Amino acid sequence: MTPASSKPRVLTGDTPTGRLHLGHWVGSVERRVALQKDYDCYFLLANMHAFTTRFDRTADIRQDTIEIVKDWLAAGIDPAQSTIVLQTEVPAIAELTWYFAMLLSFKDVMGNPTLVHELKTKGLEEKYSFGFPMYTVGQCADILAFRPVFIPVGEDQEPHIEMCRKVARKFDQLYCNVSDRTADQDYEKAGGLFPIPKALIGRIARLPGVGDGTQKMSKSLNNAIYLSDTSKEVQKKINKITTGRQSPTEPGNPDNILFKFVEAFLADPARIAELKDRYSRGDNIGDGHIKQELAQSIDALLEPMRARRVEFEKPGGDDVIIDIIKAGTKRANIVAEETLYRAKQAMNMDFGKRTIS
Ligand code: TRP
């Protein structure tokens, strides 16, 4: 492990709620793997966020936290290159959350479109806790504790990132004398503690789940292909895709669900173009054939992940994961404590440096 790196920082995270699927891969995880070499990357396990909705099932949160790290490592995140961070063991995040809660209006938080959507769709509307909406402020702290330049996330996270940018601007203006006419990219240069970070949205904004294409891929809708699925499971699930097309000679719609998958997972653009062309002309090309090619391609993506996963499925695998989490979090605390110290200085809230270990 290299100590404090001079590369620009990247931060993103996942709430541990279950295994990662292909929607996560194209939405963000693929990007993370690619960024590791050129950026100082921090990948956060948002177990405190999981607690906001599952405080009555904490044993599950603990196991899901370990499992998601297995998914990350299988996917190609390299703990020798990147830092894996456990949210609950970074006290600076909880502290910054408190300060940041004052820099946002109640309306900013309660009007956050992703939050509003969650309250509606998760049946939380009448019964969510006082603390639940706080996770959105917490996410600003998750991010800003590391002062990153980029946040690779799926499209649904954009409102959170916008809120975070708002907090960063407000803090820099209020406590670091940065003018409100400063361009976003110049905040640090102008003396701000926080750079205004940018979201990097994944290459496929919304991957449908296997089915008729009306739902997005999601664990709760039972239509997901997981990174940990076997070849057989992949094939079986791909076969659940339905287009309504009757025969290989029927002209098909090259924008249908099947082709959303083709575009997401076939590697060769020329082959994609050829399939689209033949499909739309009904040039003797069956859905079944395309599904087979698709399953093979997805399998080729998942095979190296399966191979890497074997290590952690052995007895004692969880302990290896816990050690990786501890080592990463220790490193993360160096950066987050430095941020908190500087933030407290800027706010006149510091009374000397502290050390945590
Ligand atoms: N809210 C994100 C999700 O559910 C997870 C998350 C927590 C996150 N903290 C973050 C993402 C910070 C990016 C940056 O997917």
The string of pLDDT tens digits covering residues 5-25 is 789 999 999 999 999 999 999
Q: What is the pLDDT of residues 135-182, one digit of tens each?
A: 999 999 999 999 999 999 988 899 999 999 999 999 999 999 999 999
Report the separation in Å between the CA atom of 14 and the middle of ligand 1, taken as the mean of its atom positions: 5
Predicted confidence (pLDDT) at residue 2 exceeds the cutoff of 70:
no
> CB under 6 Å to ligand 1: residues?
11-15, 44, 46, 49, 139, 142-143, 151, 153, 157
Strand ranges in 112-242 using DSSP code E only, listed in sequence order: 150-153, 198-201
Measure the CA angle with vertex 198, ends 147 and 40; round to 5°: 45
Cα–Cα distances in angstroms (integers) from residue 61 to residues 65, 113, 195, 281, in the given order: 6, 25, 32, 50
Protein residue with least CA distance to atom 13, ligand 1 = 12
pTM of the predicted structure, to 2 decimals: 0.94
Strands ordered across the beta sheet of 40-45: 83-86, 40-45, 9-14, 150-153, 198-201
Helix pair 287-313, 231-238: axis angle to 10 deg = 150
Report the separation in Å between the CA atom of 135 and the middle of ligand 1, taken as the mean of its atom positions: 9
Q: What is the pLDDT of residues 73-83, one digit of tens each?
A: 999 999 999 99
Pick from 293, 292, 291, 295: which is nearest to 303 by CA? Answer: 295
User: How far is the C-alpha of 190 from the C-alpha of 182, rounded, in Å?
Assistant: 8
255 φ, ψ (degrees, to nearest 5)? -115, 10
Q: What is the structure's pLDDT at 4?
A: 60
Report the separation in Å between the CA atom of 175 and the middle of ligand 1, taken as the mean of its atom positions: 26
Report the separation in Å between the CA atom of 229 and the middle of ligand 1, taken as the mean of its atom positions: 24
Q: What is the pLDDT of residues 260-311, one digit of tens each?
A: 999 999 999 999 999 999 999 999 999 999 999 999 999 999 999 999 999 8
